[in-house]
Every structure is written in C-alpha cells, then in structure tokens.
Structure 1
Amino acid sequence: MSEPLERLLQVVMPYGKYQGTPIADLPGNYLNWFAREGFPPGEIGRLLALMHEIDHNGLKHLLDPLRR
C-alpha cells in the first residue's frame, strides 16, 4: 500500500500556482479547492484526491517515515 504514498512525495504539481511542489507538500486550501472544483484526470487527479483525504483527516504524519 505504500507505493501511492511514495508517489505523493515523488510527483510534483505540473502546473499552476504550486508548479514544481511535491503533491505531499501542497497546502490544504489548494487541495480543498480541487475537491470543490473537481480533480484533474489521470494520476495527478488520483494523487491530489488521495492527498486531500490524508490532509482532511489529519493523517499527514503517515508520510513522515517515507521522507527519511
């Protein structure tokens, strides 16, 4: 199950205000905006949706072991 979590640290936002920022480091308000407006298609959208769930439920600490 860790592979999607690892991808949150590896994949960077390809466009927009936070271009170049790892998905795992995007601010909650940006993730909330996508949740309201709709996630893009493909892997980026899946990762943004996953990160939104992690952030929304206060589970960001789950990524800490992967950052080491």
Structure 2
Amino acid sequence: MDLTPDTDKLIELAHYRMPFGKFKDRYLVDLPEAYLLWFKQKGYPEGKLGQLLQSMTEIKINGLEPFIRKIQKDFPRH
C-alpha cells in the first residue's frame, strides 16, 4: 500500500473552485465545514467534484487546512 501523496492531485485540490451554487468560485478549502458536512450527509456529486469535496471534507474535519493553504502559496496557479 503506497501512502505517498500525489502532488499533482493535491495542487489541483488546493486550487479547485466550487463550480456552482451559493459558494460558486470559492476555493474548496474556503467552503464552510457545515456545507461540506451537508454533502457528506446528503451525498457528494458524481465524478471529480464529488471526489474533491469528499477529500476536502476529510481535510477540514482533521484540521489539515493549513497544509492546503501552504500548497496554494507554494504552488500558485497563474
């Protein structure tokens, strides 16, 4: 079992923006934890967005937001 993080996926997660709804265009890391927990309860969307929201939920509930913000700073998107 390989536990090495996929750098490209972490960078994508750090810079991914919510594509719709009340929080459209916000980085996923900036979504309120309650909103992510709502998705967890009701069901995540299909596909990439759902996978990223699920990952961000786990990151937030485990207090790892500073790690994502460091990635945003260290690997800026132009």
TM-score > 0.5, shorter chain as reference: yes
Query: Which residue in the other structure is 2:20 paired with?
Result: 15
Query: Which residue in the other structure is 2:60 paired with?
Result: 55
RMSD of equivalent CA atoms = 1.1
After the TM superposition, which parts of structure 1 deviate over 2 Å for at least 4 consecutive aligned residues? none
Q: How many residues are matched?
A: 68
42, 48, 54: which is aligned to 2:47? 42
Distance (whole Å) between structure 2 residues aligned to residue 19 and residue 64 of structure 1: 19
The worse-fitting range, judged by mean Cα deviation, of 34-43 and 11-20 is: 11-20
Aligned-residue offset at 1:8:
1.9
Q: Considering only CA atoms, is the larger Rg found in Structure 1 or Structure 2?
A: 2
State TM-score, norm by structure 1.
0.88
State TM-score, norm by structure 2.
0.78
Aligned-residue offset at 1:65:
2.2
Distance (whole Å) between structure 1 residues aligned to residue 7 and residue 31 of structure 2: 19
Identity across the alignment (%): 37
Q: Which amino acid aligns with 1:14?
A: P
Query: Which residue in the other structure is 1:67 paired with?
Result: 72
In structure 1, stretches of 5+ residues that fail to align are none
CA contact (8 A) 1:4 1:47 kept: no
5, 8, 22: which is aligned to 2:10? 5
CA contact (8 A) 2:37 2:57 kept: yes
Q: Which amino acid aligns with 1:52?
A: T
In structure 2, stretches of 5+ residues that fail to align are 1-5, 74-78
